[in-house]
Amino acid sequence: MGIFGLFKKDKANENIEGNGNFLENYLNSKFKINTDNVVYSGNDIARIEKNCEILEKMGIPGYKELKLVPVDSIVEIEEKQELALHLIFDFFVGRKALNRINGRGDVDDADVMMLALKYVPEFNQLASYLSAISKGEIKGDQLNELAFLGEQAEVLAWVLGLAEKPVETNLTLGSDLVSIFEKYDRIQALIDGCNIISKEELMEYADYISRLDFYCMELTLSKKDTKGLKNLKLECIREHKSAIDMVTTFSIDKYLISR
């Protein structure tokens, strides 16, 4: 997957995982679920049971019958080189966008922005985005979306073995990842320092966050009070879901076929 594949959104499927009625009606009108080629491994079954129990103890439905989630038979973990590039891009572009939103310039965040210069010579896309943000060429909703890439960087840093596992209770937007980029002086050095965590750790989290995201979509679509999330943050859940889907190359399109 290319470095900018992260930003490609399928508008037709954007709200596919809503509440039960919405999902059923939507699928019946436009798609059918094709699970003929999906084989549930023993690990799949065990993690589904585990995550549903965890969520139900939190007072959140586990959606044990939910099929639009990653399983072993359809997942291919992305290469660490690609994930490392995403981490660099997401952190610096996300931080730059957040600074712009908050009216902070490079001088106000000089120590961190100087770190980006170590990677720019090898990373043209990073340079072009940082420049576009500085010049005010990226505005509004797009700038806001870029700012949230910092939260996705939290997941990628964990996946690459560089940071602790993120939580869905604290929206940091990557603010605690600076030490990673202080440690390495070029892209290849960072890549060499990465070790992707085990596939089962990834899959367990991917299943968990997918079910939690489904619940968020249900609350949103049904206009229910998001207090049902307790101390969880909707923004964290959405961004962490996007990041782990990229890591596992998961897309609901793998399950759906048009009528």
pLDDT of residue 182: 95
- Does pLDDT of 4 surpass 90? no
Task: Give residue-wise pLDDT tens across range 158-217.
Answer: 999 999 999 999 999 999 999 999 999 899 999 999 999 999 999 999 999 999 998 888
Per-domain residue ranges for the chain?
A: 5-77+197-258, 80-192
> How crowded is residue 206: how many other Cβ atoms within 10 Å of its Cβ?
24
Distances, alpha carbon 86 to alpha carbons 5, 20, 40, 67, 68, in Å: 10, 34, 30, 28, 25
Banded model confidence at residue 7, pLDDT cuts 50, 70, 90 = very low
- Is the CB of residue 59 less than 8 Å from the CB of residue 228? yes
- Does pLDDT of 104 surpass 50? yes
Mean pLDDT of the chain: 85
Burial of 223 (0-12, 13-18, 19+ CB in 10 A): exposed
Token pair of 23 as six digits:
């999902």
pLDDT of residue 28: 54
Backbone angles phi, psi at 131, to 5 degrees: -65, -45
Work out the angle at residue 95's Cα, subtended by the Cα atoms of residues 92 and 9, and round it to the nearest 5 degrees: 80
- Does pLDDT of 8 surpass 80? no
- Does pLDDT of 137 surpass 90? yes
> Of 3-12, 56-65, 240-249, which gets the smallest average pLDDT?
3-12
3 state SS of 170: coil
- Is the CB of residue 53 less than 8 Å from the CB of residue 45? no
State how far Cα 229 lies from the chain centre.
19
Burial of 37 (0-12, 13-18, 19+ CB in 10 A): exposed
Banded model confidence at residue 83, pLDDT cuts 50, 70, 90 = very high
